[in-house]
Amino acid sequence: MKVILKKCTEYDVSKIKEGISASLKELGGLEKYVKPLEKVILKVNLLTSKKPELAATTHPAFVEALIEIFKENNNEVIIADSPGGLFIDTYLKRVYKSTGMDQIAKNQDITLNKNYNIFDIFSNDSKLYKKMKICSYIKDADHIISVSKMKTHSLMAFTGAVKNMFGVVPGLSKANLHVQYPNMLDFGDMLLDVCNFANPTLSFMDGIVAMEGEGPGSGDPVSMNVILTSQSPHHLDVVASKIINLDPLKVPTIVKSIERNIIKEDFSDIEVVGNIDDFKKHNFVKAKTNDIDNVSKFNLGKYFKRYPKIITKSCIGCKICADICPVKTIDIVDKKAVINFENCISCFCCHEFCPEKAITVKRRLLRKI
């Protein structure tokens, strides 16, 4: 399976378009995968209401370059995602505006998804679910295109093309899945089912500026100067994790992809077009995740588990963390967030969505014996 790497050092639409077009040529051309007049959903990573320069969301220039490519192929294009929070028009409008998607939609005269319906999808190829409720926007299109952002992730170590498909699960329904699968490996298994249901035709990753450290929402922007393209989101994620100097076997979705024989264990089924070392950042700051080896091999996860910690002086008492918490274990006391750790499942949704970076991740050694 080919994964194409192209250098791009800035968010210039014409330069991004050039890189993506060259990548598609390496894959046999866009028309090999998407025919003219077909409808395309660009499944971007919008996370929450954050400005593009914070590197928490797919950059609008990256999306605009893709729009131009698909429009030249005479495709109808829709931008879509279901970020954390309510899957309703008022919330999505705010996210579209802050992330720059509303402006490029106007520039390109294309549609932002406003279909907030949900439907049951079935698949015999899935492992945990044969049926799942997902956003109706995916059945409105002939093709789903994953347009992810290169970022770390406090729960999953890395969020890439596969994890990006979690955005087809409607709004607050994601919280139920966090409760059902608090273990990072089980959660990774569930994400593979979601990706299978979405079945993206092509996957692109915005790695021009990535997020390192406390991703996916509270980390720091870092220039990586790379565009990644592949037919397979699974194989793309392997290459992306290597670029950020993260062992792919520390990424739950990759581990589970190997178990399902989607990827070969030695990665010999991946053909990289380009040189990983040209982009690799050896001092890339990893997320403070739980150790997958403790979770999987020795069952020591509960003793060496990481937990969210409120930075009280930075907390403004906005209640976003309390509202987003899947197990409702956060209260606002004297205008500050307080976590009841007896019920905390360490999903880090609070950390992910805090607008003030007022929640960090800490390790508590030997919390319970």
The conformation of residue 51, written as its DSSP 8-state character, comes to -
Q: Could you say which DSSP state residue 250 is in?
A: G
**Which tokens sit at 349?**
């949704």
Tokens of 345: 């499942």
**Is residue 200 reached through a cis peptide bond, with omega within 30 degrees of 0 on the bond before it?**
no
Fold of 302-363: Alpha-Beta Plaits (3.30.70)
Cα dihedral value 232, 240, 85, 42, nearest 10:
-40
pLDDT bin (cut points 50, 70, 90) of residue 297 is very low
Contacts of 253 by beta carbon, 8 Å cutoff, 6+ apart:
156, 160, 162, 163, 188, 191, 192, 234, 237
What pLDDT is attached to residue 85? 73
State the pLDDT confidence band at 291, using cuts at 50, 70 and 90.
Answer: low
Classify 123 in phi/psi space as left (phi over 0), alpha (psi -120 to 50) or beta.
Answer: beta
Number of H helices, E strands in the chain: 12, 15
Task: Tell me the pTM.
Answer: 0.87
For 352-364, the pLDDT digits (tens) are 888 888 998 886 6
Of 90 and 67, the one with more pLDDT: 67
Between residues 40 and 348, the one the model is more confident about: 40
Task: State the chain's mean pLDDT as an integer.
Answer: 90
Q: Is the pLDDT of residue 17 over 70?
A: yes
The domain spans of the chain are: 2-278, 302-363
189, pLDDT greater than 60: yes
Q: What is the pLDDT of residue 365?
A: 54
Q: In the prediction, which pLDDT does 126 show?
A: 79
Q: Is the domain defined by 2-278 classed in CATH 3.60.120.10? A: no
First to last CA, the chain: 45
Q: What's residue 23's pLDDT? A: 98
- The dihedral built from the CA positions of residue 152, 158, 164 and 169, taken in this order, carries a sign that is negative
* Spatial contact of 184 and 128, defined as CB atoms under 8 Å apart: no
Q: Which position has the higher pLDDT, 292 or 178?
A: 178
Q: Answer for the pair 143, 204: CB distance below 8 angstroms, yes or no.
A: no
State residue 305's pLDDT score.
67
* Cα separation, 149 vs 145, whole angstroms: 13
Rounded-to-integer distance, Cα 138 and Cα 41, Å? 7
Share of the chain above pLDDT 70, in %: 93
